[in-house]
Chain A
């Protein structure tokens, strides 16, 4: 599967939809709706509501996150918003503010 990369100097203001993996090193504002994996790198900033299958967050996310499979907050991430997924991993050192819903 091809990869979509949002580079570190890129700002996207709007909506991202699709069926493929997404790597965010830059900034995305608006909405992300995918059926695949999202990786927010440590330089990445997402100010958006996210809908996806799995998401791994190293950077900053502000917004509600809904994953149909898994959400993983790595140890340097900052997340503000509600997260909802059947499997949620929060690493030591992760900063998180919001509600957790693990009922899928």
Chain B
């Protein structure tokens, strides 16, 4: 029976242990955990947690929550990425998801959409900063930082000097009340700007549909005379179309007072 042993299959015995490879024609659905390097050339859906480097090679697709020591992406990743050391997006990489790592290298030609948290140890502090109003402050520098980060070699290890001031900028905001007030002011402005167009639209729409809303200045502008409006509103109204009808007629009355609309209005009422 020992003769069977030399009859090995066509498989070459794995050259290096300590490296896991998901080949290009392989798809894994589920969880991958381990303590060694993981190279993905195929596809993984689910979750990946390794204590060494994770390398998503060109052509590799990962739809998963990732946590690793280093994450090097040359393929496509959809999901949040957490690295204890460094995240590298090489040219051609695509990442949609949030990054949390003390160091981040974003090469020219990499596509990325998501938030970045660059904080060495104090993940909690950042969480706190998030919950207080610092989020609009914390996220914009990242967008500025993204193009700023080296367009050169992706593997070039930047000490990321920019990461330090970012974190510092976020941290003093929490304890000092004055800083947080300023931040609150900023957020208030942003919110205001964000809401104004919506509110205006809403007002216009409401004005068209329900002519009785006279509280908004828009209504006054649209309908210079108030009386016909109230008249129209006095009608027993059940649907929007009916409100709109009398309201328009009332407006035409206001503009052309000579047109005798009374008979028409009576007809309309009937």
Contact = CB atoms under 8 A, between A and B. Distances in A.
B69 to A, nearest CB: 13
A18 B9 contact: no
A26 B19 CA distance: 11
Given A13-B30, A22-B26, A26-B34, A4 B9 contact: no
Nearest to B41: A2
Given A3-B12, A5-B14, A23-B14, A11 B23 contact: no
Interface residues of A, number: 38
A44 to B, nearest CB: 10
Contact of B4 (A21, A25, A39, A89): A89
Given A39-B9, A39-B11, A75-B1, A10 B27 contact: no
B41 to A, nearest CB: 7
A98 interface: no
Contacts of B1: 75, 91-93
Given A3-B23, A8-B17, A10-B38, A91 B29 contact: no
Given A5-B14, A39-B9, A12 B38 contact: no
Interface string A64-76: 0000000010110
B75 to A, nearest CB: 15
B96 interface: no
A20 interface: yes
A46 to B, nearest CB: 14
Interface of B: 1-2, 4-5, 8-14, 17-38, 41-42, 46, 50
Interface of A: 1-23, 25-26, 30, 37, 39, 41, 54, 56, 72, 74-75, 89, 91-93
13 contacts: A1-B25, A4-B26, A9-B18, A12-B31, A15-B29, A16-B27, A16-B29, A18-B42, A19-B26, A20-B24, A23-B13, A26-B20, A26-B34
